[in-house]
A and B are shown apart, each in its own frame.
Chain A
Amino acid sequence: MIVRVVLPAHLRTLAHVDGEVKLDVEGIATSRAVLDVLEACYPMLRGTIRDHVTQQRRAFVRFFACEQDLSHEPPDAPLPDAVATGAEPFLVVGAMAGG
């Protein structure tokens, strides 16, 4: 299935992409599965969204989809059907900060 991913601007620059990224994710679409494919396609993103070793989401990164904050969902929890079918994108968001 094709999952659409929206990256924050700085990570789009790092990955040399414009707009959405479309990823072919096999099996159940989970945040772990999506990020695994994302990092395989764009290795320069490794370590920028989740830790190299622990695979934990970086503190100032959030995952949104279907108007929900999925940041604290288990990484193996299925993403909403609308994300799995490509109807809605999976958003990687830099947390709002800076004052």
Chain B
Amino acid sequence: MSGVRLLVGTRKGAFVMTSDGTRERWDVTGPHFGGWEIYHLKGSPADPNRLYASQSSSWFGQVIQRSSDGGKTWETVGNKFVYDGPTGTHLWYDGTPHPWEFERVWHLEPSLTDPDTVYAGVEDAALFRSTDGGHTWQELPGLRTHGSARSWQPGAGGMCLHTILLDPSRPERIFTAISAAGVFRSDDAGKTWRPMNRGLKSDGIPDPNAEVGHCVHRIAMHRSRPSVLFMQKHWDVMRSDDAGESWREISGNLPTDFGFPIDVHAHEPDTIYVVPIKSDSEHYVPDAKLRVYRSRTGGHEWEPLTKGLPQRDCYVNVLRDAMAVDSLDPCGVYFGTTGGQVYVSADAGDSWAPVVSVEVHTLP
């Protein structure tokens, strides 16, 4: 029988959860790296036993861990992230110029074809790549030196590059998303970049056609249809059918369109999931009910998924990387809350069950 491995990053360490195809009983190992914040964990599509983890601490900085046996053992690899060339400045919260400073790795995206190649999205926003399994890292400076970069400004969580999507049909195409600059696309393997934010409307930006400055929270694609992108923005759930060239709103009948995660069903490219929360300043689910919303129509029409989820006295949030799907049939859907629960659905969201209680930070 097929199995599934779920990687859970929390502020208290990392957990590896495994189950058979029924996804009813789970073995949980961890915490790995106890006491460290795990900003991201991700396995290589080319070698599922090759995992990468971003381990961070206010005291001791950034550490990158690598596993070659599915998370049973780990080794420390390179943590030297040095911007390539003069760093220049971006805007600080108060609008003054502020030099680029490396803070941490928010996202690790292994290559679709090579287990030793992995991309890292960092704060302050930049894209790095390793081609030796994480031992050394080189910046792809074209993004950070884009002409608009001096006007980028951090979101509340810092100026982080939090999403990296690799196009399976065009190896030279990479999408990134930065809070609070927006979406950028490269069609030459990361050398040059273009902002991809046309159609995004953000109340906090006076220019309705602003090229950058949008607080994109996450973007997602289905690998069979990489020109279609789905976005959870600060407010608004959005969709692009032209690889980011233009966006249109698909919030439809959602109770609120503020949230962080968005993901796509493994086998149905038009089935998407979000977890709305009340507002930008009220980071908890509306009406004290934990509801995942699913659209089977690529947006606009959403249904609440509640079976097995708390429907009273619940005040949690689900952060941007804390949702994932598996590739089994029926598709499994997973999410972790800021309250510390990991929920699993083995039937594409129709019903849910809690698996473990930890403080979930990231869930690739």
Which A residues are within 8 Å of any B CB, using their own CB? 8, 10-11, 14, 44, 46-49, 52-53, 58, 60-61, 94-95, 97
B residues 210-247 in Cβ contact with A at 8 Å: none
Inter-subunit contact B82/A58 (CB<8 Å): no
B96 on interface, CB distance cutoff 8 Å: no
Inter-subunit contact A11/B82 (CB<8 Å): no
Which A residues are CB-close (under 8 A) to B58?
Answer: 60, 97
Which A residues are CB-close (under 8 A) to B35?
Answer: 10
Inter-subunit contact B36/A48 (CB<8 Å): no
Which B residues are CB-close (under 8 A) to A94?
Answer: 59-60
Inter-subunit contact B80/A46 (CB<8 Å): yes
Which A residues are CB-close (under 8 A) to B57?
Answer: 10
**Chain B interface: which size bin?**
10 to 19
Inter-subunit contact B76/A14 (CB<8 Å): yes
Which B residues are CB-close (under 8 A) to A58?
Answer: 59-61
Complex: how many Å from CA A8 to CA B296? 51
Q: Which of B58, B60, B80 has the largest number of chain A CB atoms within 10 A?
A: B60
Which one of A10, A52, A53, A97 contacts B60 once the chains associate, using CB atoms below 8 Å?
A: A10
Q: Which of B36, B59, B80 has the largest number of chain A CB atoms within 10 A?
A: B59
Which B residues are CB-close (under 8 A) to A61?
Answer: 59-60
Convert B52-76 into 0s and 1s, putting 1 for each residue whose CB lies closer than 8 angstroms to a CB of A. 0000011111110000000000001
A43 to chain B, nearest CB (A): 8
Which A residues are CB-close (under 8 A) to B62?
Answer: 47
B79 on interface, CB distance cutoff 8 Å: yes
Which B residues are CB-close (under 8 A) to A60?
Answer: 58-59
Inter-subunit contact A47/B79 (CB<8 Å): yes
Inter-subunit contact B82/A48 (CB<8 Å): no
Which A residues are CB-close (under 8 A) to B82?
Answer: 52-53
